[in-house]
């Protein structure tokens, strides 16, 4: 009830302030009471509303407590200025009010960082941090170019007084840069709380810039419109405090806004540097623009690197078996073609060994696909132990593997390799706590003796493998005189022979 009354009072004060600033209600005589009494009331009321949020709700409590502290000090500074310091014959610069007002900046920085942090949110990549830096420095460069010259020209008095006057625009630039940078780290994804909080601080920065320009023009007090912007900015923080925060979602850093917004600030920095040739920028604005371009250059270098890595990853994915990480059929065929081309140019031979595991379907049906997949992942390393580093092992699909030997040894050497492969398979595999023994059948074909191209070579190695199954041999070399039927007929013959051996068919 008290909270609702507080928001109602806040809206009423905003309405009166807007009526005076926009419609001129009350005329010039009402401007000072509105600026002194009502503005101070808004600051104190908003600090109370935000503090109430920190007390009642645990989520982001520390961040909102920090915001409430900063707003309380800011409101106290406004009260002391309006009802005491302003009426002194020579108001000191700096005064206690400056210390209270300026305290809002570091407290706001800390509060924004605390509000932006989220447990479980994955850490943004390096490029996103650079996007935040580009956006932050780019916005700060715009602000510095727009108002810093006027502020610097109007700053008079002792060095401490000049430093105090410059602290406000610098604090504003840092605050605006922080808000935009944190938004970049979120992938430019905002909810209502973020919209109101970030919008409030950005509006406060705009109001400070407008007031700085007015002071540079000789005015000692903010105009009614500037005062309205101040109270609206602070009021937005009160509404932000009581917004429901939705569940944290995974941040997507590849949205179009994550690319276009940093690009906008980069182009803005380029524009400022071009403008510098027409009218000299202040050193701060020039330095910020240069920093933006440097960050943008590094960002582009990272983007090109990421594109290259992504392209390589996609190329490998297209040529790699997803289960075993071995070369797939596409890559294996390409390597066989390359080996044959090398043989045609320089002579030599290339051999393909086709391997089919025995009883793999029964293993899958008995132990489940997880066990079958685990076994398939172990086959590649076991085959590699029998081969040279230059040889290729591939999974063609299912329980079928292939080996490319180039340069290939003679028939005796091929037989030795086949024996080593089959012996390696006979050693137990540890799968889901079980010791599994595997047997297989190998078919061997060589270029140029058995085939003219890669397709023929693989087909004939396949035929030899089915002959090995049919003849119940562990491996078989391709022989033209035995190539009398289709692959389907050979497959059927191999399955019938195995069924008879296992007692599945009686003759």
Integer Cα distance of 68 and 75 in angstroms: 10
In this prediction, residue 247 carries a pLDDT of: 46
pLDDT bracket for residue 351 (50, 70, 90): very high
Integer Cα distance of 438 and 424 in angstroms: 9
In this prediction, residue 365 carries a pLDDT of: 77
Higher pLDDT residue, 168 or 77? 77
- Tell me how crowded residue 24 is: count the other CB atoms within 10 A of its CB: 12
Those residues with Cβ within 8 angstroms of residue 311's Cβ, 6 or more apart along the chain or in another chain:
none
Average the pLDDT over each of 80-94, 156-170, 399-413, 472-486 and give the range with the smallest value.
Answer: 472-486
Specify which of 200-204, 282-286, 429-433 reaches the highest per-range mean pLDDT.
Answer: 200-204
- pLDDT 10s digits, 217-248: 667 778 899 999 999 999 999 999 998 765 44
In this prediction, residue 362 carries a pLDDT of: 81
Peptide bond into 407 cis (omega under 30): yes
By DSSP bridging, strand 429-431 and strand 392-397 are unpaired
CA angle 325, 331, 337 (to 5 degrees): 150
- What three-state secondary structure class fits 83? helix
In this prediction, residue 181 carries a pLDDT of: 80
Those residues with Cβ within 8 angstroms of residue 481's Cβ, 6 or more apart along the chain or in another chain:
none
Does residue 119 carry a pLDDT above 70? no
Higher pLDDT residue, 238 or 165? 238
Average the pLDDT over each of 70-79, 224-233, 404-413, 481-490 and give the range with the smallest value.
Answer: 481-490
Q: How many helices (H) and strands (E) does the chain have?
A: 19, 7
pLDDT bracket for residue 156 (50, 70, 90): low
Statement: the pTM of the whole predicted model exceeds 0.95: no
Bin 27: left if φ > 0, else alpha if -120 < ψ < 50, else beta: left
- pLDDT 10s digits, 300-347: 777 777 777 777 777 777 778 888 888 998 899 999 999 999 999 988
DSSP characters over 199-217: HHHHHHHHHHHHHHHHHHT
- Backbone phi, psi, residue 20, to 5°: -70, -40
DSSP characters over 108-171: HHHHHHHHH--TTPPPPPHHHHHHHHHHHHHHHHHHIIIIIHHHHHH--SSHHHHHHHHHHHHH
Average pLDDT in the 400-413 region?
Answer: 91
- Measured over the CA atoms of residue 265, residue 266, residue 269 and residue 270, the dihedral's sign is negative
Homologous superfamily, domain 329-501: Reverse transcriptase/Diguanylate cyclase domain (3.30.70.270)
Task: Encode burial over 359-368: b for 16+ CB neighbours within 10 A, e otherwise.
Answer: ebeebbeebe
pLDDT bracket for residue 430 (50, 70, 90): confident
Closest CA to 474 of 422, 429, 427: 422
> Chain-centre distance of CA 163, in angstroms?
40
Higher pLDDT residue, 217 or 24? 24
In this prediction, residue 479 carries a pLDDT of: 86
- List the domain boundaries for the chain: 2-124+187-244, 329-501
């Amino acid at each position: 009830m008290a909270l609702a009354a507080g928001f109602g009072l806040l809206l009423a004060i905003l309405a009166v302030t807007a009526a005076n600033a926009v419609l001129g209600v009350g005329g010039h005589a009402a401007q000072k009471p509105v600026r002194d009494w009502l503005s101070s009331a808004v600051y104190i009321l908003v600090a109370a509303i935000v503090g109430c949020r920190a007390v009642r709700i645990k989520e982001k409590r520390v961040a909102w407590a920090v915001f409430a502290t900063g707003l309380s000090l800011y409101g106290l500074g406004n009260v002391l200025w309006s009802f005491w310091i302003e009426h002194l014959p020579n108001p000191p610069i700096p005064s206690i009010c400056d210390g209270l007002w300026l305290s809002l900046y570091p407290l706001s920085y800390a509060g924004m960082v605390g509000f932006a942090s989220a447990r479980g949110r994955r850490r943004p990549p390096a490029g996103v941090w650079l996007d935040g830096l580009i956006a932050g420095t780019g916005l700060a460069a715009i602000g510095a170019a727009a108002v810093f010259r006027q502020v610097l020209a109007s700053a008079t008095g002792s060095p401490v007084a000049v430093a105090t006057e410059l602290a406000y625009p610098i604090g504003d630039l840092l605050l605006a840069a922080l808000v935009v940078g944190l938004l970049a780290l979120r992938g430019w994804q905002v909810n209502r709380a973020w919209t109101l909080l970030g919008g409030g601080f950005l509006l406060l920065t705009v109001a400070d810039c407008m007031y700085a320009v007015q002071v540079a023009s000789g005015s000692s007090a903010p105009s009614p419109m500037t005062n309205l912007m101040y109270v609206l900015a602070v009021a937005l923080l009160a509404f932000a405090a009581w917004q429901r925060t939705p569940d944290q979602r995974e941040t997507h850093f590849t949205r179009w806004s994550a690319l276009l917004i940093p690009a906008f600030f980069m182009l803005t920095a380029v524009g400022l540097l071009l403008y510098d040739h027409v009218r000299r920028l202040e050193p701060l604005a020039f330095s910020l623009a240069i920093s933006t371009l440097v960050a943008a250059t590094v960002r582009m270098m990272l983007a090109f690197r990421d594109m290259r890595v992504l392209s390589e990853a996609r190329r490998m994915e297209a040529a790699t078996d997803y289960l075993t990480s071995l070369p797939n059929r596409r890559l294996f065929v390409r390597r066989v073609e390359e080996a044959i081309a090398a043989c045609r140019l320089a002579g030599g031979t290339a051999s393909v060994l086709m391997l089919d595991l025995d009883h793999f379907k029964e293993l899958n049906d008995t132990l489940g696909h997880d066990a079958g997949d685990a076994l398939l992942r172990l086959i590649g390393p076991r085959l590699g132990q029998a081969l040279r580093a230059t040889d290729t092992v591939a999974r063609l699909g299912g329980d079928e593997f292939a080996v490319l030997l180039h340069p290939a040894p003679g028939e005796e050497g091929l037989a030795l390799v086949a024996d080593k492969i089959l012996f390696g398979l006979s050693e137990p595999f540890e799968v889901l706590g079980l010791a599994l023994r595997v047997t297989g059948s190998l078919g061997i074909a060589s270029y140029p003796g058995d085939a003219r191209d890669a397709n023929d070579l693989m087909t004939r190695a396949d035929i030899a493998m089915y002959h090995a199954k049919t003849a119940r041999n562990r491996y078989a070399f391709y022989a033209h005189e035995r190539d009398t039927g289709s692959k389907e007929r050979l497959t059927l013959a191999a399955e019938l022979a195995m069924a008879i051996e296992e007692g599945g068919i009686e003759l």
